[in-house]
Amino acid sequence: LAGCGGTHSVAPGTQEAEDLLLAAAYVLDAQYNRNVPFETSPQAIRLYYFYNHWTTQVATYFFICVDLALALFEEPALFPLPFLATSIAEILCLTAFFGRLIHFAKITPQMVFWKDTKNICIMVTIVLTLIDLIIYGSLESINVRSIRWSRALRPVFLINFPESRQIRRAFRSLRNTLPDILYVFLLFMFSVLMFSLMALKLFGDRGLKTAEGSPYFENILEIAFELYVLVTTANSPDVMMPAYDFNWWYSLYFIIYIIINTYIFMSVFLAVVYNNYRKHLKNEIRKLAYLKRHKMIAAFNVLKVKVGADFVVEEAQWRRLAQVVAPDMSSAHLELLLRISDEGQKGHVDKMNFLRLADLLNIHVVTISIKRHPLEAWMPRVYQSSASLLVQKMVRHRIFVWVFDVIILINAIFIALDEKNSLISYAEWLFLSLYIIEILLKLYTYDPKAYFERKQFWNCQQILDIVLILRILRLLRVIVSIQRFRVIVTTLINIGPAMLTFGGLVFVVYYVFAIIGMEVFHGKVQFFDPNFTAPDALVCGNPALQGSAFARGRYCKNNFNDLASAFTVLTELTVAWFLNFLLLANGFALVTHQAAKLYFILFHIVVVILIVNIFIAFVLEAFFVAYSLEKSEVETAIEKKIQELGVGIQEEELQDGKLTDHVDTKDRGLHGDDGDNKRKALKGLYCRIASKKYRTVDALLQRMFESEIAPENEGSALDEILNFSPSDMCPKNPNFENSA
Amino acid sequence: LAGCGGTHSVAPGTQEAEDLLLAAAYVLDAQYNRNVPFETSPQAIRLYYFYNHWTTQVATYFFICVDLALALFEEPALFPLPFLATSIAEILCLTAFFGRLIHFAKITPQMVFWKDTKNICIMVTIVLTLIDLIIYGSLESINVRSIRWSRALRPVFLINFPESRQIRRAFRSLRNTLPDILYVFLLFMFSVLMFSLMALKLFGDRGLKTAEGSPYFENILEIAFELYVLVTTANSPDVMMPAYDFNWWYSLYFIIYIIINTYIFMSVFLAVVYNNYRKHLKNEIRKLAYLKRHKMIAAFNVLKVKVGADFVVEEAQWRRLAQVVAPDMSSAHLELLLRISDEGQKGHVDKMNFLRLADLLNIHVVTISIKRHPLEAWMPRVYQSSASLLVQKMVRHRIFVWVFDVIILINAIFIALDEKNSLISYAEWLFLSLYIIEILLKLYTYDPKAYFERKQFWNCQQILDIVLILRILRLLRVIVSIQRFRVIVTTLINIGPAMLTFGGLVFVVYYVFAIIGMEVFHGKVQFFDPNFTAPDALVCGNPALQGSAFARGRYCKNNFNDLASAFTVLTELTVAWFLNFLLLANGFALVTHQAAKLYFILFHIVVVILIVNIFIAFVLEAFFVAYSLEKSEVETAIEKKIQELGVGIQEEELQDGKLTDHVDTKDRGLHGDDGDNKRKALKGLYCRIASKKYRTVDALLQRMFESEIAPENEGSALDEILNFSPSDMCPKNPNFENSA
């Protein structure tokens, strides 16, 4: 089984179909003439299926969660458990990870397995964790407290298991950006240091005092730290006040500093990150497109037979292949796919069509049967009466939707008004009953199953509406109905899933920082209940904080005494960075060591300079693609063909109102043309073509690169594809493409 | 004189050369056969020159400055002057502006003049200002105080005079971005309002109190304002504290709010602004390139004669044209240009070469004469002695530069160390003497004139070094010498001039806001000397501020009582926005009206959402161009030709060390080849080719679009060019170019 989910799994989506096809092709071939480069068997396919089965995946994620959650129960713990209990749980997790790795090794060629850094990473982490556990355990038994350093490595399991492809990709973005950003960062630090030197020269000798009476700008390291913080504008007026009071002109120094180091350098960081992000994104997706082509050609070469002048795959072989790859596929579905692949009913599939098979398997096929409404089955006379039909027509009419949009708007205005007014609280009940009437009418008109279908977002929404607050979200529907807002809203919705990726990335970074923070800072700062009046309560239980801004600001609750507190502090630092950073850094520097400030600066660099910029780059790219999509149409060959055959259905058409009418026509058309049995099996089966609006950057880029590969292209060599570098790209018109 | 500096002056640089050439072509033609579409004469050319002469331009700027500065002397004034004095000064300025406009009308065809909105703008503003002056003056005479509203219009003169092309362009960027950003802004406001409604539902009924004891989140407008401010994260922990104290989970509401409205929406604003910026920048520059071609073809058609099969311009006619256009050009310079234009010495210039004339006139020609060092002339024996030659060789050597780089680094470290140590202050003297020795040695080796040449930045720097602080800037030279930093540093330097444009833009916006702020807020908040202990001092002289955070924060100095204070407040709002915004807005709302908050929100929208984003877009684009430039070479046809003829000199080679050697070889080569008189006149004259490193985005884009126009292209019609729209562009490969 060549390269299943191995090193090259660089992007989501259609990745697995071609892997599976290639593997299945080898299996089919092996059943006849055992002429295969390595061991394959139906059992291997079964192992592969089992590896990818949802139960094993869920089990793996369960153990990853348990492993990560252990930090809640280990000292410093939120819910303390004895060391023995947590270490047994950890060993269990490690065993599970190891088992999963062995399973993966079974279904992967040895060479590919050992070349994959992910597997090496997991093994090394397992070994290191075991060593750490043994050392800590033995020291614990003789009552020496040491550090459980391997805990910071736990996110490795989350990142490196093949299922976390997206998080890994985000990390790759991060890593690819590092070399370039390093140079800008050095320059930035150089600029900060130069300004520090200037500040020392300008202010060092003047004997100025800060508001707290300590010497102002007399030590180069202190100055550098203060100026670094000034970049985040956290200490903006305070840091310049002594100089400003001394002479108004000195404020110019600080304004120039902020313009250069905050506005310009932060933009440069964004420019570098964005440039790299775009470059590497394109390269990864191009790699993927070529790799897919390479695998599909390999599969074709295994199965091909010569018919006439051309090599083709025979229909019988094609059917066997599809059955091995997708055993659960209905026969009607299979016929539909065959009809698309073997257009002319020649009894074989040519190369062009075979190469598209992976895409074809990924296309969703929906069954649309014109079911009767349950009420119609139950009491057809009443449901088909003219009054009932009028109601149905009314509900299906566009004005029905508009009327309720207006009602929602009025409702929003009422919510904004003072609710204590009794008239308004009556109005609330009126609105609630109107919504319930709307739901009942819709249930009466449409099939309840269709109404509750997963994709019918707004209808689900209506149910949730009854929960008072989310009702307001319905206003979004009014917005989406306005053409000009649609690009923005749909792009924002498309970004949604990727937000989870960034969530994963941020979680991993937080976890590592939290573990380190807990080791370094735990117990240094205590939080006492506000009603508790011990003298220590005012200095967070640490005399070093006497008279500090940290204690005065009542920051005691911001500590690293357990995982939850640490996560809260780090979230605050990310979201509302500037207000806490200086006080926190100075406070923790007081209770431990001046070097503690480095921890906070490092966190700022990683989270704000790197991750936030990658996030912005991602949003920017999504919008640029959305804006260009407005004008251009990118349709894959397969979609075009499905459209031509009339077996496709646009996702937009799957909306409630238009659906039934459309299917009616289609259906009649099919019956009218030719009524043979084969066609009848297809009745109601349609390929769902993804809406053009809801396409991600990845999907779009992949289409582009696929259209770039000529159909007759035999594919590049595997090594060549894997070594594609971003700078090889776009040789045609480099200037315009990159800069304009 | 067609379209001199009229409506189409969209970009800098090579703009005027082709205008002048076209005008001169008509004049030359008119001298022979008065067959011209409109009145031209040598007198018109003189008027044109006088209009563009530096004296009239300086005078105009002087009057603009006076007009803008009047706000310093008018009530509320920094230096009060009677109304009579300021109004006389203003009328003087208006007269000057009107005179300038008349002058411009004289040298512009009537149709073009009246089509230009700039001229209309100026005229309307002059009339409005006069009306305002009369009304205010007459009301003043009967002691009724009214508002001098026309003062907010004064920046119109700064923006609309033809010389402020760059500021106008920045404003155009702003205006072009408005429609698109409006939709995002509406969506953003919708999101803020929706969250406000949710907040009202969530928190409104709970009877929570803020830290100051006032009701928390009970009024929809208050909530919307607080949430808008939360986008700037100004009130980040405070605004959520009551909810957070009530229930930990409510913090999720605020975190989601910040992720959506701060991180995502601010990125979307940037995406929209950047997308528009890039689109319109490309369109403007393309327009310019086509316009230039159009004018040059028109000039060629006026002067052409048929020689053989082709139309050409004869050498005599060419010389007359050059003399009209550039009367001050030396004959050697003229010969050099002719040699480039008439390569084959055929006695005429063909069309291709004629079309390049505007570029050619814009190329700087430098005279490089191998002057003797003054010391050599004064005492040749001593200067040419072997010891002296050794010293000169040593100074010219690369190691000499490196040694001083190391000395600078060591010096920087010494500055960072404690200066009170006597050893270190002695070291300071040592460094100072080392620098003086370096300067003396360089003066000894290089010609003092060359040494002090304007472009020799680092040498000037050395002189300034003696001023203690700027010495540290020399470290930048060490950085620039490292290859990897060069792209970043040179791009940052290239951005420099454009920063002034943004400075102009910001100044105009500040001015308008300051005038409005002064009218609305002046005198409402008073600043008292800290030693003054009147009870009013604590509430900034306004009892409405009793107990407010504004008074407690000692914000009294942040007021709008004169232009300087207003500018200071607005600068603080821009640079250190978040700390002041809420207190300021609330404070001024207390002393005037709740609607005063709108003033601050509007300022935030204009400055932060629009201008800062355009600035970031500009920096991003500059870096993307710089990164693509690293790989590609864009050389204009004219530069290629100059290189081939061996009469060009790269700007990089004009550095001190390499210069003389290079010129020596060049010079010898010229003498060796052929020694006729004509060539001798060229001795030491070279075209300076701008360094590839120091090219702006504009210059690069212009080159690209020029190379896009085929040489045989007869140019589009003028109307067509002026109506180019951004969406017409790049039809070749739309998907890749826009999105990838």
| pLDDT attached to residue B689 | 60
End-to-end CA distance of chain A: give it in Å, rounded. 44
Whether residues A474 and A494 fall in one domain? no
Cα dihedral across residues B122, B127, B130, B136: positive or negative: negative
B254-278 pLDDT, tens per residue?
A: 888 888 888 888 888 888 888 888 8
Least confident segment among A165-174, B260-269, B633-642: B633-642
**8 Å CB contact of A578 and B272:** no
State how far the Cα of B115 lies from the Cα of A539, in Å rounded to an integer: 72
State how far the Cα of B313 lies from the Cα of B301, in Å rounded to an integer: 9
Instruction: Confirm or reject contact between B231 and chain A (CB < 8 A).
Output: no
A-chain residues near B629 (CB < 8 A): 739
* pLDDT exceeds 60 at position B721: yes
Instruction: Confirm or reject contact between A233 and chain B (CB < 8 A).
Output: yes
* pLDDT exceeds 90 at position A279: no
Please name the residue of chain B whose CA is at the shortest distance from the CA of residue A256: B575
Q: Whole-prediction pTM value? A: 0.75
State how far the Cα of B623 lies from the Cα of B740, in Å rounded to an integer: 17
Rg over alpha carbons for chain B, rounded to the nearest Å, is 32
| pLDDT attached to residue B548 | 72
State how far the Cα of A158 lies from the Cα of A168, in Å rounded to an integer: 9
Mean pLDDT over residues B372-397, rounded? Answer: 81
**8 Å CB contact of A737 and B736:** yes
A-chain residues near B731 (CB < 8 A): none
A-chain residues near B282 (CB < 8 A): 740
Instruction: Single out the residue of A635, A129, A719, A593 nearest to residue A363, CA to CA.
Output: A635
Write down the number of H helices and E strands in chain B.
36, 6
**8 Å CB contact of A267 and B619:** yes
Least confident segment among A440-449, B77-86, B261-270, B415-424: B415-424
**Domain assignment of residue A35, yes or no:** yes
DSSP B689: E
| pLDDT attached to residue B6 | 31
**Domain assignment of residue A362, yes or no:** no
Whether residues A161 and A20 fall in one domain? yes
Tell which B residues from 467 to 486 touch A, by Cβ distance under 8 Å: 468-469, 472-473, 475-476, 479, 484-485
- CA-CA-CA-CA torsion for B424, B427, B432, B433, nearest 10 degrees? 160
State how far the Cα of B403 lies from the Cα of B412, in Å rounded to an integer: 14
Whether residues A494 and A622 fall in one domain? yes
Tell which A residues from 629 to 658 touch B, by Cβ distance under 8 Å: 629, 631-632, 634
Cα dihedral across residues B48, B49, B55, B58: positive or negative: positive
Q: Give me the domain span that covers residue B431.
A: 374-479
B317-341 pLDDT, tens per residue?
A: 888 888 777 777 777 778 878 888 8
The percentage of residues in chain B with a pLDDT greater than 90, rounded to a whole number, is: 2
pLDDT classification of B7: cutoffs 50, 70, 90: very low
A177-195 pLDDT, tens per residue?
A: 888 888 888 888 888 888 8
**8 Å CB contact of B183 and A237:** no
Tokens for B150?
């026309």
* pLDDT exceeds 90 at position A439: no
State how far the Cα of B659 lies from the Cα of B445, in Å rounded to an integer: 13
Q: Which of A126-140, A385-399, A538-552, B45-59 has the highest mean pLDDT?
A: A126-140
**8 Å CB contact of A739 and B624:** yes
Instruction: Confirm or reject contact between A199 and chain B (CB < 8 A).
Output: no
B-chain residues near A230 (CB < 8 A): none
CB distance B686 to B647 below 8 Å:
yes
* pLDDT exceeds 60 at position A12: no
pLDDT classification of B581: cutoffs 50, 70, 90: low
Question: What is the count of structural domains for chain B?
Answer: 2
Tell which B residues from 300 to 339 touch A, by Cβ distance under 8 Å: none
- Binning chain A into helix, strand and coil, the percentages to the nearest 5 are 70, 5, 25
Instruction: Confirm or reject contact between B386 and chain A (CB < 8 A).
Output: no
Tokens for A63?
């153990």
Q: Which phi-psi region, left, alpha or beta, contains residue B379 (left: φ > 0; alpha: ψ -120 to 50)?
A: beta
Instruction: Confirm or reject contact between A386 and chain B (CB < 8 A).
Output: no
Whether residues A22 and A154 fall in one domain? yes
CA distance B125 to chain A (A): 33
CB distance A324 to A45 below 8 Å:
yes
Bigger pLDDT: B80 vs A120: A120
A18-50 pLDDT, tens per residue?
A: 777 777 777 676 655 444 444 556 676 677 777
State how far the Cα of B49 lies from the Cα of B616, in Å rounded to an integer: 38
| pLDDT attached to residue A672 | 38
State how far the Cα of A368 lies from the Cα of A364, in Å rounded to an integer: 12
State how far the Cα of B238 lies from the Cα of A307, in Å rounded to an integer: 77
Instruction: Single out the residue of A235, A233, A201, A194 nearest to residue A218, CA to CA.
Output: A201
Long-range pairs for A97-101 at CB < 8 Å and ≥24 separation? A97/A60, A97/A63, A97/A122, A97/A126, A97/A157, A97/A161, A98/A126, A100/A56, A100/A60, A100/A161
* pLDDT exceeds 80 at position B736: no
CA distance B718 to chain A (A): 24
Domain endpoint, select from A629, A650, A673: A629
Whether residues A443 and A522 fall in one domain? no
pLDDT classification of B195: cutoffs 50, 70, 90: confident
B-chain residues near A620 (CB < 8 A): 267, 270-271, 274
pLDDT classification of A93: cutoffs 50, 70, 90: very high
Cα dihedral across residues A412, A413, A419, A424: positive or negative: negative
B205-239 pLDDT, tens per residue?
A: 777 887 677 778 878 888 888 888 888 766 666 77
Whether residues A493 and A466 fall in one domain? no
* pLDDT exceeds 50 at position A736: no
**8 Å CB contact of B237 and A576:** yes
Rg over alpha carbons for chain A, rounded to the nearest Å, is 32
**Domain assignment of residue A22, yes or no:** yes
End-to-end CA distance of chain B: give it in Å, rounded. 44
CB atoms within 10 A of CB A413: 10
- For chain A, the average pLDDT equals 74
CB distance B342 to B348 below 8 Å:
yes
Domain endpoint, select from B447, B479, B511: B479
B151-164 pLDDT, tens per residue?
A: 888 888 888 876 67
State how far the Cα of B429 lies from the Cα of A252, in Å rounded to an integer: 29
Residue with tokens 């204590």: A420
* pLDDT exceeds 60 at position A694: no
* pLDDT exceeds 50 at position B672: no
**8 Å CB contact of B197 and A233:** no
Whether residues A494 and A601 fall in one domain? yes
Domain endpoint, select from B464, B479, B494: B479
A215-256 pLDDT, tens per residue?
A: 788 788 888 888 888 887 666 667 777 777 777 778 788 888
Instruction: Confirm or reject contact between A135 and chain B (CB < 8 A).
Output: no
Bigger pLDDT: A272 vs A671: A272
**Domain assignment of residue B75, yes or no:** yes
Q: Which of A202, A221, A267, A285 to probe the B interface (max B CBs under 10 A)?
A: A267
Helix (H) or strand (E) holding A593: none
Instruction: Single out the residue of B527, B601, B602 nearest to residue B562, CA to CA.
Output: B527
CB distance A489 to A143 below 8 Å:
no
State how far the Cα of A255 lies from the Cα of A250, in Å rounded to an integer: 9
CA distance A197 to chain B (A): 6
State how far the Cα of A115 lies from the Cα of A110, in Å rounded to an integer: 9
Residue with tokens 């200067």: B383
Whether residues A601 and A581 fall in one domain? yes
**8 Å CB contact of B735 and A628:** yes
**8 Å CB contact of B202 and A268:** no
Mention every residue, 6+ apart, whose C-beta is less than 8 A from residue B719: none
Whether residues A495 and A462 fall in one domain? no
* pLDDT exceeds 70 at position A399: yes
CA distance A656 to chain B (A): 26
Compute CA distances B700 → B279, B625, B705, whole Å: 15, 8, 9
Whether residues A455 and A539 fall in one domain? no
Whether residues A476 and A498 fall in one domain? no
**Domain assignment of residue A205, yes or no:** no
* pLDDT exceeds 50 at position B580: yes
Tell which A residues from 516 to 575 touch B, by Cβ distance under 8 Å: 571-572, 575
Longest dimension (CA), chain A: 98
**Domain assignment of residue B735, yes or no:** no
Whether residues A51 and A110 fall in one domain? yes
CA distance B482 to chain A (A): 11
The percentage of residues in chain A with a pLDDT greater than 90, rounded to a whole number, is: 3
CA distance A695 to chain B (A): 13
The angle that helices B315-325 and B15-32 make with each other, rounded to 10 degrees, is 120
**Domain assignment of residue A561, yes or no:** yes
**Domain assignment of residue B351, yes or no:** no
Cα dihedral across residues A480, A483, A485, A486: positive or negative: positive
CATH number at residue B458: 1.20.120
Instruction: Confirm or reject contact between A493 and chain B (CB < 8 A).
Output: no
Mean pLDDT over residues B476-498, rounded? Answer: 74
Q: What angle do CA B549, B550, B556 make, to 5 degrees?
A: 150
B-chain residues near A490 (CB < 8 A): none
